[in-house]
Amino acid sequence: MAESLPPLTLAALLQALANPSFTAYAYIGGEKDRGWSIAKAAEKMIPNVRVYRIAPSEASAARSEFGASPSIVGIVFGFGLDVTDKLNAKAAEDALRVFNAIWDSDN
């Protein structure tokens, strides 16, 4: 199930990302963004992936935690806390790029 910050906290997100049973994709942006729609589609189409939306109001703390510059809106995680890819807005709006980044995160 797709979750968002808030109400989820950054600490709760870190705990969820540490679960080695799932890869994850965190999208930084608005609820109506095309990139968020693609993230939710990825969760439905790719096994063992969870998606999280980080609201713009929470972006600064998340960017700091994951070493993501302001141009990054998508962060891909392998099984655990390891960041395997970072996507800019154009890449996050490209479904194939997002799906491939998530798929490749378990290698």
pTM: 0.95
- Reported as a pLDDT band with limits 50, 70 and 90, residue 1 is confident
Number of domains in the chain: 1
Domain that holds residue 50: 3-106
Greater pLDDT, 27 or 107? 27
What is the rounded average pLDDT of the residues 91-102? Answer: 96
Q: Give the model's pLDDT for residue 106.
A: 75
CATH number of the domain where residue 41 is located: 3.40.30.10
Residue 64 has pLDDT above 90, yes or no: yes
Query: What are the pLDDT digits (tens) for 37-52?
Result: 999 999 999 999 999 9
Which contacts (CB < 8 Å, 24+ apart) does range 87-96 have? 89/29, 89/35, 92/27, 92/29, 92/35, 92/38, 92/39, 93/34, 93/35, 93/38, 94/38, 95/38, 95/41, 95/42
With pLDDT > 70 as the criterion, what percentage of the chain qualifies? 99
- Reported as a pLDDT band with limits 50, 70 and 90, residue 101 is very high
